[in-house]
Structure 1
Amino acid sequence: MKKRTRPRLATVLYILIAALIGGMAGIGTYTFGYAKGASYLSAGSESCANCHVMQGHYDAWLKSSHGKFASCNDCHAPHDSVVSMYYCKARNGFFHSLAFTTGDFEENLRITDYNRRVTEQACRNCHEDVVHQIDIRAIGELNEDHTERLESNACIRCHSTVGHDT
């Protein structure tokens, strides 16, 4: 009877590398095939409804005043650079897909602090003239870093359903 020998280290490494490549190819195929991952690289708002959980928000946006003038990215992605816009989209995509895949999300979706800041800044970018006048009346002279203004006089504090009215 032959005595069994342990697999050689090289064989184990080849198997691990093949499994890693196969896993990455499978995840990539799923992400960019079935889950339409490439659509998230565009500015098209319809990609936001790829996930059925967002369909109601997308439908409400289509009927809203913002649906005629602004895309989802206009309100939910930073405007300061392409890098921060894609960072935001990648960050949100990762956490959204994780939550929706695992089912670990509240039925009534809630905006995160990070996304609240992004959306608040987007409101202020588009409605700068009006917001500036409101800020001056609400808190007097603006402090240098504007943190007091953003926290005490946030647009989305009163206008939380704008863009998603149902």
Structure 2
Amino acid sequence: MNRTAALILASLIGITIGIGIYTFVYAKGGSYLSNDPAACANCHIMTEHFDAWAKSSHRTVATCNDCHTPPGFIAKYATKASNGFWHSFAFTTGDFPDPLTIKTHNRVVTEQACRKCHAEIVEAIEAGPGADRAYADDEPSIDPRPTVGEEMRLGHSVASTQTSCVRCHMHVGHWVR
């Protein structure tokens, strides 16, 4: 190997090691491999979201990964790697929206998580009016109060396959601004 090739190879190895040290030591990159919500707060711009999640009703039932990464090992870590790269790029260049906005792929992942955990509610909405009314001896109930399913359908006039949970409930989990 000639001197120039050796210098280029040594430079590439040095750059790779430097990026690795930065990522896993300074930026606490190893923490992103865990399910610990505190890892999301490593980045100062996410602290507000972490603090809001810690005060939310979801803090005891869901972590950041439960709502913001798809199920499955490969899909989860591919999403985390992609998000990590683009977050790092945006914060390094200073080119990010404030307040933060969710990307289309991540919105789909979050929507699917809502529907999975709240499947009973989704089914009640999709069933249509009166589907959960109790009837005795083929006689309609005369109870004027709305059933749970009917209450859930209030405000969900568009078919739930077209309605996005996060469109109206975007602050559930971690309300900010």
> Which residue does 1:83 correspond to in 2?
74
Mapped partners of 1:12, 1:135: distance in 2:
67
Of 42, 48, 61, 1:50 maps to: 42
Give runs of ≥4 in structure 1 deviating > 2 Å. Answer: 135-138, 148-151
Q: 1:155 aligns with which of 165, 171, 176?
A: 165
RMSD after superposition? 1.7
Structure number with the higher helix fraction is 1
Query: Which residue, out of 94, 99, 110, partners 1:119?
Result: 110
Counterparts of 1:73 and 1:158, CA distance in 2 = 21
Q: How far 1:151 sits from its partner (Å)?
A: 5.6
Match of 2:33 in 1: 41
- Partners of 1:69 and 1:86 lie apart in 2 by 21
Q: CA offsets, 1:98-137, max 9 Å, x none?
A: 1111110011100000000000000011111111221333
Structure 1: tracts of 5 or more residues without a match: 1-8, 139-147
Cα distance change on mapping 1:120 and 1:150 into 2, 3 Å = farther
1:22 positional shift: 0.3
The aligned counterpart of 2:144 is none
Alpha-carbon distance in 1 for matches of 2:88, 2:12: 21
**Residue 109 of structure 1 pairs with residue 100 of structure 2:** yes
Identify which range, 51-60 or 129-138, moves more after superposition.
Answer: 129-138
Name the SS of the counterpart of 1:152 in structure 2.
coil
Number of aligned residue pairs: give it.
Answer: 148
SS of the equivalent of 1:164 reads coil
Q: Which segments of 5 or more consecutive residues in structure 2 lack a partner in the other structure?
A: 130-157
Residues 15-43 of structure 1, C-alpha deviations (whole Å, 9 max, x = no match): 00000000000000000000000000011
Residues 135 and 153 in structure 1, CA contact (< 8 A), matched pair in contact too: no
Closer, same or farther: CA 16–149 of 1 in aligned 2, 3 Å: farther
Distance 1:151 1:95, change over 3 A: farther
The normalised TM-score by structure 1 is 0.84
Q: How do 1:10-29 and structure 2 match up within 5 A?
A: 10-29=2-21
Relative to structure 1, the CA distance from residue 149 to residue 97 in structure 2 (aligned partners, 3 Å threshold; closer, same or farther) is farther
TM-score by length of 2: 0.79
Instruction: Tell me the residue number matched to 2:174.
Output: 164
